[in-house]
Homo-oligomer: A and B are copies of this chain.
Amino acid sequence: MAKQEVKVSWKDKMAFEAEVDGHKIMLDAAETVGGENRGPRPKPLMLTALAGCTGMDVISILKKMRVEVEDFNVTVEGDLTDEHPKQYYKMNVIYTFKGKDLPLEKLKKAVSLSEERYCGVSALYRKAIEITSEIKIIE
């Protein structure tokens, strides 16, 4: 059983410095709520965690499948409730692959392996909210 830990230290106003795996990330609120936008808001880091987790899964599965892509990105959209505490109630993951003659079935397989077997971020989110996904290919 592994334990992971993250610490955020208050700097001033709404700014906090996070230390994550030895790397520092500044977090801050928008100017409209007393911050200075010196870094991202905390909540979208939930989307970042999902995008990065499944992105790393997919690129490493494709490498094992010997599928070469020219370019690859993952966008995660999150829909927020109007009521407090404002929270994501739905996320959509868009996988965009660029390359010539990419094998759609293998791309689908890599995505579903991440969704079902490897990505521990989406595994937790799925217990709470709906997550959908789509694949886009750019030649």
Q: Interface residues, chain A, CB within 8 Å of chain B?
A: 1-10, 14, 16, 18, 20-23, 25, 27, 29, 33-35, 37, 39-53, 55-56, 59-60, 69, 71-82, 84-88, 117-125, 127-129
Contacts and interface: CB of A to CB of B under 8 A. Distances in A.
Given A27-B52, A118-B85, A6 B37 contact: no
A51 B7 contact: yes
Q: What is the oligomeric copy number? A: 2
Contact of A42 (B6, B41, B48): B48
B6 A76 contact: yes
A1 B41 CA distance: 18
Contacts of A123: 85, 87
Contact of A5 (B55, B76, B117, B119): B76
B120 A6 contact: no
A40 B8 CA distance: 14
A80 B3 contact: yes
B76 A46 contact: no
